[in-house]
Amino acid sequence: MTTTWTAARVVRDRNAGLSLTAVVISGFGTSALWLASGVWVKDLTGSDGLAALCVLAMWAPTLAGPLLGALADRFRRRPLLIAASLLMAGLLLTLCTVDSPRGLWLLYAVLFVYGATGVVHDAAESALIATAVDRSLLGDFNGLRMTAGEAMKLLAPLAGAGLYAAYGGAAVAVLDSVTFLLATVVYAFLRVREDRPAPPTGSRRERTAEGARHLWSHPVLRPLVSAGGATMLCAGVSGALVYAVVEDLGHSPAYAGVLYAVQGAGSVAVGLLSGPALRRLGERRFAAYGIAVLAVAVALRAVPDDPTAWACSAAIGAGLPAVLIATLTAVQRETPGPLLGRVTATANTLVFSPNVLGLAAGAALVELVDHRLLLAVLGAALAVTAATLLGHRANTAPA
């Protein structure tokens, strides 16, 4: 009943429903290409390392989030989203020429631009949503956005893999291009009044740093972003241990796909419930409780038992998104419109970049330390993060 009411609140709002539709459409294409690009490179070269570079090419621009996010504050957001989508729709079609290892430079270049455009796109989209969607619906929208994103991660890679197997990588690129064109049409139907941004003042470095200064000085946003970064660092290490967990359960590596599917189901569920939960608990408590659930689930993954592993995967899927949804919602509510692009992109960089570091650290540590000990340490670190976030709330004025 609660989930139906949450979804209905968003869908009944014209701008919220259209924005969510655009997220679903573009997310489907992105998830399909994310998997297919690595398989494409592997087939062309036989190299696992070169295939892994596809993910790096898409993720690397995230590190330049504060600089790229400034673009979202220089232009009106809806035209910028339309222009970014049209740019990617055109660039993706150039991948139809990639049919040998000699064309890999083009694939990597397009994926890098894809990642950079994605940073600008996410910042502009977040800022536009904060303007186009009723503020009382932001928590519901962000929760449903998470649900839609996780659903696409479950469905789109399968569709992309099937399309790739039947027609090759170029067909997946065309599919992603079409999704960008469809998203452009949806953005065109949004009804939102945007003032032309004021002419920039100060140097580019000063304008870029404004987002970081706002996050650091804000009593609500700083602890949320700090907790989000710490959580994603631990989640990255934990993610690198999944195959050790599967081996301890006595299954083949393919069983990891089952655990990820269960985790995705947990994320879908928490996305549907996040709007009411945010209204009842507020951003900090919602995030802290989610991190606490994550802490218990990560630690209990050390138990070599299938039902426990399934329950832990579902709990990880439910706990991890809480801090992400809470942080994005707080950023949208607590940031002035002219700064929102830079602040969103900076927050995304600070929250998501540690996940990459965690994956690298976990890949190294799992060869040196028993994974069960690592899981216990990660659980303790997450519990401290949750307690710190709750304690900070007690010492700060309510938002």
Give the pLDDT confidence of 279-304 residue by residue, as tens digits: 889 999 999 999 999 999 999 999 99
Regarding whether 215 and 187 lie in a shared domain, the answer is no
Q: Is the domain of 238 the same as that of 159?
A: no
Q: Write down the pLDDT at residue 110.
A: 94
What whole-number distance in Å separates Cα of residue 374 and Cα of residue 366? 8
Output the pTM of the full model. Answer: 0.79
Q: What is the CA radius of gyration of the chain?
A: 21
Residues 243, 390 within the same domain: yes
Same domain for 220 and 316? Answer: yes
- CATH of residue 146's domain is 1.20.1250.20
Query: Residue 198's pLDDT band (boundaries 50, 70, 90)?
Result: low
Q: Is pLDDT larger for residue 323 or for residue 142? A: 323
- Tell which of 197, 221, 255 closes a domain: 197
What is residue 151's predicted lDDT score, i.e. its pLDDT?
76
**Mean per-residue pLDDT for 233-260?**
83
Q: Are residues 185 and 291 in the same domain?
A: no
Residues 192 and 232 in one domain: no
Do residues 113 and 35 share a domain? yes
Answer whether residue 364 shows pLDDT above 80. Answer: yes
Lookup: tokens for 140: 């519901």
Cβ neighbour number for residue 131 with a 10 Å cutoff: 18
CB atoms within 10 A of CB 97: 11
What is d(CA 385, CA 113) in angstroms, rounded to the nearest whole number? 35
Q: Stretch 93-122: mean pLDDT, rounded?
A: 91
Quick check: 204 pLDDT over 70? no
The domain boundary, picked from 163, 178, 197, lies at: 197
Residue numbers of the domain that contains 222: 198-399
Specify whether 224 is located in the same domain as 328: yes
Annotate 305-364 with DSSP letters as a single string.
Answer: -HHHHHHHHHHHHHHHHHHHHHHHHHHHHHS-GGGHHHHHHHHHHHHHHHHHHHHHHHHH
In angstroms, the CA 147 to CA 35 distance is: 20
* Same structural domain, 354 and 340: yes
The domain boundary residue, chosen from 172, 197, 222: 197
Question: In total, how many domains does the chain have?
Answer: 2
65: pLDDT strictly greater than 70:
yes
Which of residues 345 and 12 earns the better pLDDT score? 345
pLDDT at position 49 is 66
